[in-house]
Every structure is written in structure tokens, then in C-alpha cells.
A and B are shown apart, each in its own frame.
Chain A
């Protein structure tokens, strides 16, 4: 209301509405009502006009009626008494010969949302169910749902429910679908509408009569149906096949959702269905509506988790358009990273490189980190691009590049030379705290190779007073300490200054405590300090596992076609977190701040503990949550040999005892086609990632090929066990042998005491299968669960390795 205050406006309107001259002129009356509604939708409180509006309701002009109903439904809850007056008019309208008037009256009668009116509404609603006009039946059916929700505790009228079930056979498809919706709400406590075989078949047969919206509703409700036989299941699937490739994305998505639900036990069929929707999904990705595009992209990301190769050939469809909004570009880049392979990598990197200079800094940063992700598999090409970007001397680009390099080096240490030489001169360009933290971390890890490192640090230390970011200060402390260890003469002075400042002047407790800790640590001697601070600076094994194994569809099927995939900030399932040196955390969301806090707590923990490596635990979260493997206490090669030979000797003699005591034998062949090309380094790296130590192996390409390994399993309830094992690859041309053997030992007890023994050695030969490794495992004490868990971890590692190299 631009000119009048709202009170004036309402008064003005009331005067006009009660003016008999206006009332007698249909057009003027309608226009006045229109004005009132306009004021209402602009947010003016016009509830005072209620009684005038009730009068205006009694008119033959349908347009005016509709307008008044809009008003009445908005304000009825404020004026329950006056609303009673409307009921009369409405009930009269329900008898009107015009079906449109009848449906209008019925709909608004139920929209008033007044529990006190229920008794007046029930009778017209019951009559509405039997009305000869479909549009009245549609409204009446949903009316019962509204009525039920007004009084959720009231008894459910069995007669109405029966009538609604009967109306599922109504000739009008919308009435049928509305019946489903209404029954679903009324019978919510009983789990919704009953979906049995006849109803399912009836609904499926009539699916084609409904429009898009009806089909979606029916398909959604049918997800609850469990076919009684496989034949029936496949009948349903073939009936729905056409909907799977529907040009309407809602129908396609609802059908795929139903497919995934029905075929949860048949992964092959589900995968075939995913292949089938590729076309429609890609089309939705090119839709003119950017929201549809975005939705389709989010769902493609879900599908790629189970079928990484699904979109491989169509990677160009995910190139970003010039005018697309940043959030779509980011999703597209996330998809592109997943699609990279040997053929398209050059093309993809070229495209991504173009995005790095995007005007939008967020897009540029996303592109740079996407290149970093690809760099784990194609490090040379990517590093070339990244170092080239540093030449642009742009703040946000430099910061993103340094952060990306930091993550990359953590995974691929072979890149460190290039990164070290690229770091020179970066610090002037870095303004944000994340970029500077990343630079400091790199200096800490590779300080001895960056000649200017002390000068850079000196600059940081000189400015520490004005430093605002807590993370940078913490990182600076650690970096200076670590640099001091490798370049003491250059760093001693500045370390003293920094510690002095942090202990004496720093206001932040966290920084001060950390400084004090380091200070005391230095008192313990340089050896001790070195032991604590010098940790891993990279986790090369992470790189081996980049190619995530395909997840089963059930992992995400529940969230398919819901709002869930659109809401998450981005699917970052990769475990790369440049964390503290001694600690591999499997953090689902890499977060620089988080890793810093871990950093500091970790160091304290290590300091308290007597053994430097005791914090080294790692859980292979995907496989077995409660099982964790660790390398401590370390086993020397001699001890290993002793154990191994001992078990071998005992094998024959004490087999029976073992059976009852603490030994289990599990035979397993692991398919591992990659043995000949697999380098010991990558195998060792992969094993180390999951905390399995390889002790010895034969050089590659010698036969038979052997690897010896050990680990400790820790379980929350069953204590810890020691597992030692051998991988054997005989390599005969026509046959390979695989077996799994496990013996269990108690890790904490001296090995000779307990009789746990050596597992029986089972060889399984199969002529057809060539790519198998024979695995012999010994565990002490016996723990089947841990053994199975360990075996599955081992299998995963080997599979991942073979998929990498193939």
C-alpha cells in the first residue's frame, strides 16, 4: 500500500464493500474484492474485512466467489465464529447444478481448517464421493484426508476408507491417484495404503492413463510392494521399461527409484537399469532449466558411485558453459574428475585449465583443486599446469594452487621436487590464512630442499604480532620447530624469538600451550624432539587407492530422487587429508582447520605416550568399522621368521588341538592379475595405507613370487591379535594356486607360550583361473571376525591394486 497506511486502506475497503451501490454493480463489487485480496497478498492485514467478505461470498459471480474463498481460507482460523456463517453458503453451493461450483465449494469448505466445522462438512463430502462429475470426486477424496488431519486422533471411519478403496477403480485417473494419496494420509499409522497384488496390478495397468504427476505418485507408492515371485518381478520391470526412458525427468527418476527398490537383491538388473537411464539423465543435464540441470548432475554423481564408467564416453557433456552459474560449474567439475582416463586426460585438463582464470574466484579455485585431484594419477601434466598458474601472480589463484600442491604432495611424494622449486616467491602473493597455512606445511615437510625457507619463515615471524589467524600461528610454530631440526644454524635465532613471543605475549591459550609444549620438548634433548616431530610427510599409499572401488547401489539407493543429494555441499568421499604427520585420519571431509587441531592434539598425545608410533591406528572404515589394524608393536624380521617357522613345524602335530583352541582356517583365493607388473613399492605403499607391514618380498618378475607381511588387529571387544601371512604366486602358465591360511596369535603374549598354531594349509587349484594368489595367514589368538575383517581388507587392497594397474 504505497500511499495509505494499512489501517486507512482497510477502512476504505470496508466502506466500499458495504456500500449498496457497489454491491449492486457486479463489476465494481468484484473489483473491490480484488483490491482487498491484492492488499492481502502484499502482506497487509485485512482480517478485519472478514464479515464483509462473508457477505460478498453469496454471489452468482464465480470469479468473485473464488476471490472471496482465497480470502476466507486465509483468515478463517482467526474468525472461527464468523466462519460458521460461510458454511451455509458453501453447503448451498454444494447442491448447485454446476459441477464447477460444487467442487469449488467442497474444496474451500475443507480448506477452512476449522475443527469446529467438521460436523457440517462430513455430509457434503460423503455426497461428493458419489458425485457424477469427476472434478467433484477429486476434491471430495482429498477432502477426507484434510478432515482426518484436522482431527488426527479421531476414529477412522471404516466406511469411508472402504469407499476410498473402492474409488481406486474410478474411471478418472486423477480420482484414482487422489485416493492413493488420501488413504496414505488417513492410514499413516497403519503404514499407509495397503499395497497388495491386485491393487499393484490395477495401478500398473492404469499407469499410462495418468499424467506425469500421477505416474510419479503411483510409482512412489509402489515402492512398498514386494513381488511374490521372480516372474512377477520381471513382468513388472518389463512393463515399466518404457517409463525408464521417459522424456519427463520426474517419471524417469521415479521409475528408476522403483527399479532400485524392487531389484535390491539383483545388482545386475539394477546396473542395467542405470545404463538405461543414461540417455534421459544426460538430456536432463542439457535442459534449459538450470535447476533441472543441477538436479540431474547431483543424481549422476550418485550413479557414478556405483558405475564409475557410466558417463566415460560423454565427458564433453560436462564441459561448463560460459554463462552457467558457479554451483553448476562446480558440480560439473566434480563429475569431470571422476571421468578422467588415459584417452581424455589431455582434453579434460585443457578444459579445466581454461576455468582456472575464471572471473569468479570460487570457480577458479574449484578448477584448480580439480586439477590437483587428477594430478594424483597424472602428476606431471597437472604439475605443469599448476606451476604455470603461479606465474599469473593472482592472489586467489596462488593460494588455491599452493593448497592443491599441498594435498597433492601428501599423496604423491614424487611431485615434491617440482613443488619445492615452485614455492619460491609464493609467499608475497598469499593473503588468506588457508593458503599461508598450506605454504607453512610444505615448508615444514620439505624445508631442507627449499633454499629460501628460513627467509620466508623469518618474514612470517616478524609479522606474527599482527597475525590474526589462529591456524597460521599454530602451523608456524610447528614449521619453525621442524625446520630447526633440519637447518638448526639458520633457524635457531628465529625459533627463540617465536617461542618467546608465543609464551610471553600471545593471548591465545592454544598457541601458548603449544609453544610451551615445544619449549619443554626442546629441554628433553634434540633426539627426543626429533622423534616426536619428525613424521611422515606424505602418505604415498593414498595415491594407490584413488580409483575408489565401485560402491554397491544399496549405499545410496535410499537417497535417490530425494532432496538429499541436492543438499550436501559436494560429494567428497576421498580420504585425502593432509593431516598431522604421524597420523592418518580417515576423515570423510577434508578440512584444513580440522587437521590443524588434530595436529596439535596428536603431538601432545605422542608426547605423553612412551612409544612414538602408538598413535598409528587406522580403521578401514568401509569394510569393518570396529576392526582396526596397527603396526605396533613392531615385529622384526627375525621374530617374524621365528614365528613363521614355528607355526610351520607345529602344523602337522598339533592340528587337532588348534581346531578347538584358537586357530581358524579360511581358504581364500584372491584374484590379483596385477602381480607381474605390480611393483614392490606400490604394493608396500598400498599395504601400509591399511597398516599392514610388508617385511620381505622377492623382486618382481621372479617366480615363485612371495611377499611376507604382518599386522595386529584391534577389536573393541575381543582384544588384539597378531596376524602374519604370506602371499605366494607360483606363476605356472596354466595354473595358479591360491589359498588362504591363517593362524592367530596373541600379539601381546610372547609368541612361544600359546599353542596357537598354524593353520592348515589349503591349496586350491583351479586350472581355469590364472590370476590368483595363494594367501597363507596365521593368527594368534583365534578370532574369526577379526580374521574375516582382515581378509576382506587385504582383498580390497589387492583388487584396488589390480584395477589400478589394469
Chain B
């Protein structure tokens, strides 16, 4: 049972405030902000209390999404999931999540909130139901830009570029779309720990298949996965090409009758974004981790710390965009490195890293009072990267079909991306 819902900007500006039950005044908004900013780093901020009132909040898009409740027996899972879902709805309707978009669309958000929660009870968060009730149109916060026109060639002819969906294509309000577009994203997050001797200590992949549908009413959709897709350890098949995951969970609207025979998911997507399938894979990755590091760390005669790092990318030799936040320096014009004293880290940025190559860097650090044990203090190297068009688990979408075939031409985009959740290379 939710008493109030409010949204605050990171500076504490009141963006949205709605009271459902009249159990507390609006002054608690400021109380919340004072409390949340007064916390030290290790205190869990998710649930806080003020008298009888409990604040539960999540952070999405740099904003505080807060729900208050007076009953301590409320389910934290429900409230947090609701806040996440609500922010996803706002994102669907407004296009993107930011202070500006929330401010511009506050009328729409009030309308949404009114339909989603009544008297503190969650009524529905399904966009299929909501689209009948929401009347306000979204205001897009994006200014007009010439770059938007760059896809259009001379005389309106289609250029090569338009075959590729612009990265911002999916971040626009779902109502405003004139075209019937569907985005199918396979997103994987890697968390890897590689020990100092190059041994892989941990390698986990969390993946999900997300559908973002702009069609107001979508008929049935069929998603074909790799035919060799298997779940669990027991189903390993003889041939090496099998794609295996440890565990797999599906959205409750997914029909799995064709899954067991043909690895086809059937569903009727509702407007907006939803996660069709989540899966995870631990330890037993089909391929070696994409990056390896060969470090040498020593003290030179002048009392400086020398770090020689060689980073190798073991991906097939295609071009991959890699943004690395390493603890390290530069030898080439397109890379840069920066010493961040606040985090005590060196930030080595590599805008582009081609598969099958290696990069090296030498850092010389002046450290006052360098002792042999200072070498111990040199922390791990952390890689932050994004690998487009690649899934570590090997999951591929064979096809994406709409049946019956849509009368209007529909555009279907399939995108793969692998993020680093936490890619740690120990020194």
C-alpha cells in the first residue's frame, strides 16, 4: 500500500508529487531529500524511516523515484519493482528519462500515475490497458537537429546509412511513432574476474532479450533462437556449436509451445518495452574472455612507479568500439589517459580497439614515499566496454516474424550488444 509517490531531481527539485491516501503532508519530500543526502556511503539508502512513514526509493535516470508507505509490512520487492516499472512506463511514454523530460511531461506523468495507482493500490502497469486511458501527448525534449536529416540522401533517396537504425531511434515516445517499428535487443552483461596469473576466476553472463514495440496493436510475433540452444548442464549436445545457458526465465506472456521443438518464442508484445527472456550463464563461457592483460609493475631507480601494460583483444578481427576505463597512458593520438586523483585511478580511454590486436601503455607515476609494499596497493584494472553486434553466450536471433503479415510495412531491428558489468583484471 503506497501512501505517496514523488519524483525528485538529483538536486532535490520537486518534479512530481502525488498523495494517494492523505496520510502525510507534502513536507516529507524535503525530509526525504535531507535524509538521503545525509547518508554516508555505506549506509543502505533504499529504505528509510521518518516517524511512521517509510521511504522506499530507486534511482533511475539520475532521478529519485520515491514511494512512501505507512505499513512496515509492505513488500519491498513489490514497491521497488513498481517504482522500476513506473519509471520504465515514463520512459516509454516520454521517450527518455531525464529531469528535463519529466518536467516537460509532468501532465502526462500525473495522468499515468492516476491510472496506475488508486488509493495506494497498484491497478495496472500494462501499456495495453493504459493506452486506452492516456490522452495527453508526450512533448519530446529533443531539439531540432540537422543531424537527424543526415539519413536522408539527396532528393530523399535512401542512403546506405538508413539501413542501420540510429542509436537514438528507440528512445522516443511510444505514442508518437508514425511508423510501426519493432526493436529486438539482445543485451548481455559480463562480470569477469581474471587473476594475476591470467586465470579466469569468475566469468558470469547475464543476458536478456528485450522487445520494444512501437506498434499500437501488434499481432503475434515469433522469435526464433539458435536451434542448438540448450538450458542447463544436462542437455549438452555432441557438437561444439551448441549455445548453452544455465538458467532461463521467460515473460509470462510468452508462449513456449514451440520452444521445446524449434526454439521459437511466441508472444503478442504490448506497446512499449518489455523483457521477453532473461538468462544467465556462469563460469563455463563458450569462448575465452575478450580481453587479456599482461602487466609489469616495478620501481625505477628514480623512485617512480613504472607500469607497463599490454592489453590484448581476442575477438575475431572485426572492428569493435571499446571504451576502456583502465587504471593507466598513452602512446598514440587517438587514445588518452588521465590521472584522476579523486578516485586514485588512471583513466585510459581507447576509443577503438580492433579485434586480434594489442595495445600497450607505459605509465610512470611519481609517488611520494614509495615503498616495496606500495606495489601491493596498485589496484586491479577495470575495463568498461561495449561490444556491439556480439553476444558472449553466442545467442542469435534466427528470425523475427509477425503473423499475420502486417499490412503496413513494418521495420524490424535486431541489435546485439555486450556490456561489461564488472570486468576486473587483477595485477
Q: A residues engaging B (CB < 8 A)?
A: 34, 37-38, 41-43, 62-63, 66-67, 70, 74, 100, 107, 113, 135, 138-139, 142, 145-146, 149, 174, 178, 181, 211-213, 216-217, 220, 246-250, 252-254, 257, 279-280, 283-284, 286, 288-292, 294-295, 298, 314, 316-317, 319-327, 330-331, 347, 350-351, 354, 357-360, 362-363, 366, 388, 391-394, 561-567, 569
Closest to B126 in A: A211
Known contacts A286-B204, A327-B44: does B373 contact A393 (CB below 8 Å)? yes
New A-B pairs, 15, CB < 8 Å, besides A38-B106, A247-B252:
A41-B17, A43-B14, A74-B19, A142-B118, A174-B123, A212-B81, A250-B75, A291-B46, A316-B282, A319-B191, A327-B45, A359-B344, A394-B377, A561-B77, A567-B47
Q: Which of A138, A217, A257, A354 contacts B380 (CB 8 A)?
A: A354
A283 and B118 within 8 A (CB)? no
A41 and B15 within 8 A (CB)? yes
B166 interface residue, CB < 8 Å from A? no
The 9 A-B residue pairs with the shortest CB-CB distance in the complex, in nearest-first order: A321-B422, A362-B42, A247-B249, A391-B373, A213-B122, A327-B44, A250-B78, A566-B47, A326-B41
B106 and A41 within 8 A (CB)? yes
Bound-complex Cα distance A350 to B201 (A): 10
Q: Which residues of B contact A42 (CB under 8 A)?
A: 13-14
Bound-complex Cα distance A181 to B118 (A): 11
Bound-complex Cα distance A23 to B78 (A): 44
B81 and A248 within 8 A (CB)? yes
A66 and B135 within 8 A (CB)? yes
B343 and A359 within 8 A (CB)? yes
B72 and A63 within 8 A (CB)? no
B43 and A67 within 8 A (CB)? no
A247 and B202 within 8 A (CB)? no
Known contacts A41-B14, A139-B118: does B75 contact A216 (CB below 8 Å)? yes
A562 and B72 within 8 A (CB)? yes
A351 and B193 within 8 A (CB)? yes
Q: B residues engaging A (CB < 8 A)?
A: 13-17, 19, 21-22, 40-47, 49, 54, 56-59, 69, 72-78, 80-84, 106-107, 110-111, 114, 118-119, 121-126, 132-133, 135-136, 189, 191, 193, 195, 201-202, 204, 206, 247, 249-252, 278, 280, 282-283, 343-345, 369, 371, 373-374, 376-377, 379-380, 382, 421-424, 426
Q: Which residues of A contact B423 (CB under 8 A)?
A: 322
Q: Which residues of B contact A298 (CB under 8 A)?
A: 76
Bound-complex Cα distance A323 to B380 (A): 13
A138 and B118 within 8 A (CB)? yes
Closest to A390 in B: B373
- In the assembled complex, the CB of B87 is this many whole angstroms from the nearest CB of chain A, namely 9
Known contacts A211-B125, A248-B81, A392-B376: does B249 contact A283 (CB below 8 Å)? yes
A247 and B121 within 8 A (CB)? no
Residue among A246, A347, A562 with the most chain B CB within 10 A?
A562
- Residues of B contacting A: mostly: mixed
Closest to A327 in B: B44
Q: Which residues of B contact A567 (CB under 8 A)?
A: 47, 49
A563 and B74 within 8 A (CB)? yes
Q: Which of B16, B135, B136, B422 contacts A322 (CB 8 A)?
A: B422
Q: Which residues of A contact B16 (CB under 8 A)?
A: 41
Listed by A's residue number, 17 A-B pairs whose Cβ atoms lie within 8 Å are A42-B13, A42-B14, A70-B110, A107-B114, A138-B118, A139-B118, A291-B57, A317-B282, A354-B424, A388-B373, A392-B373, A561-B76, A561-B77, A562-B76, A563-B56, A566-B44, A567-B49
Closest to A99 in B: B132
Bound-complex Cα distance A41 to B17 (A): 7
- In the assembled complex, the CB of A638 is this many whole angstroms from the nearest CB of chain B, namely 56
B380 and A317 within 8 A (CB)? no
Q: Which residues of B contact A138 (CB under 8 A)?
A: 118, 123
Q: Which residues of B contact A561 (CB under 8 A)?
A: 75-77
Q: Which residues of A contact B133 (CB under 8 A)?
A: 100, 135
B250 and A566 within 8 A (CB)? no
Bound-complex Cα distance A790 to B107 (A): 68
- Residues of A contacting B: mostly: helix
- In the assembled complex, the CB of B394 is this many whole angstroms from the nearest CB of chain A, namely 19
A37 and B41 within 8 A (CB)? no
Q: Which residues of B contact A321 (CB under 8 A)?
A: 191, 421-422
Q: Which residues of B contact A566 (CB under 8 A)?
A: 44, 46-47, 76
Residue among B17, B75, B110 with the most chain A CB within 10 A?
B75
B202 and A319 within 8 A (CB)? yes
B283 and A316 within 8 A (CB)? yes
Q: Which of B13, B22, B250 contacts A247 (CB 8 A)?
A: B250
Q: Which residues of A contact B422 (CB under 8 A)?
A: 320-324
B376 and A391 within 8 A (CB)? yes
A254 and B78 within 8 A (CB)? yes
Q: Which residues of B contact A250 (CB under 8 A)?
A: 75, 77-78, 81
Q: Which residues of A contact B377 (CB under 8 A)?
A: 357, 392, 394
- In the assembled complex, the CB of A327 is this many whole angstroms from the nearest CB of chain B, namely 4
B121 and A295 within 8 A (CB)? no
Closest to A568 in B: B44
Q: Which residues of B contact A362 (CB under 8 A)?
A: 40-42
Closest to B58 in A: A291
Bound-complex Cα distance A217 to B343 (A): 45
Q: Which residues of A contact B106 (CB under 8 A)?
A: 37-38, 41
Closest to A314 in B: B282
Q: Which residues of A contact B202 (CB under 8 A)?
A: 316, 319
Closest to A184 in B: B1
- In the assembled complex, the CB of B136 is this many whole angstroms from the nearest CB of chain A, namely 5
Q: Which residues of B contact A291 (CB under 8 A)?
A: 46, 57-59, 80, 83-84
A254 and B45 within 8 A (CB)? no
Known contacts A100-B132, A139-B118: does B74 contact A562 (CB below 8 Å)? yes
- In the assembled complex, the CB of B179 is this many whole angstroms from the nearest CB of chain A, namely 25
Bound-complex Cα distance A662 to B138 (A): 85
Known contacts A317-B204, A327-B44: does B118 contact A107 (CB below 8 Å)? yes
Bound-complex Cα distance A38 to B202 (A): 50
Known contacts A250-B78, A253-B75: does B107 contact A37 (CB below 8 Å)? yes
Bound-complex Cα distance A567 to B48 (A): 7
- In the assembled complex, the CB of A657 is this many whole angstroms from the nearest CB of chain B, namely 56
Residue among A319, A322, A327, A564 with the most chain B CB within 10 A?
A322
Q: Which residues of A contact B83 (CB under 8 A)?
A: 291
Known contacts A138-B118, A250-B81, A254-B75: does B280 contact A326 (CB below 8 Å)? no
Closest to A135 in B: B133
Q: Which residues of A contact B41 (CB under 8 A)?
A: 325-327, 360, 362-363
- In the assembled complex, the CB of B396 is this many whole angstroms from the nearest CB of chain A, namely 22
Q: Which residues of B contact A254 (CB under 8 A)?
A: 75, 77-78
B84 and A319 within 8 A (CB)? no
A213 and B42 within 8 A (CB)? no
Q: Which residues of B contact A37 (CB under 8 A)?
A: 106-107, 110
Bound-complex Cα distance A298 to B47 (A): 12
Bound-complex Cα distance A62 to B46 (A): 37
A213 and B125 within 8 A (CB)? yes
B58 and A357 within 8 A (CB)? no
- In the assembled complex, the CB of B239 is this many whole angstroms from the nearest CB of chain A, namely 27
- In the assembled complex, the CB of B283 is this many whole angstroms from the nearest CB of chain A, namely 7
B247 and A279 within 8 A (CB)? yes
Closest to A561 in B: B75
Bound-complex Cα distance A360 to B379 (A): 13
A70 and B114 within 8 A (CB)? yes
A213 and B376 within 8 A (CB)? no
- In the assembled complex, the CB of B255 is this many whole angstroms from the nearest CB of chain A, namely 14
Q: Which residues of B contact A257 (CB under 8 A)?
A: 75
Closest to A366 in B: B42
- In the assembled complex, the CB of B151 is this many whole angstroms from the nearest CB of chain A, namely 30
Closest to B54 in A: A563
Bound-complex Cα distance A561 to B57 (A): 16
Bound-complex Cα distance A393 to B370 (A): 11
Bound-complex Cα distance A563 to B55 (A): 10
Q: Which residues of A contact B251 (CB under 8 A)?
A: 247
Bound-complex Cα distance A332 to B99 (A): 32
A66 and B77 within 8 A (CB)? no
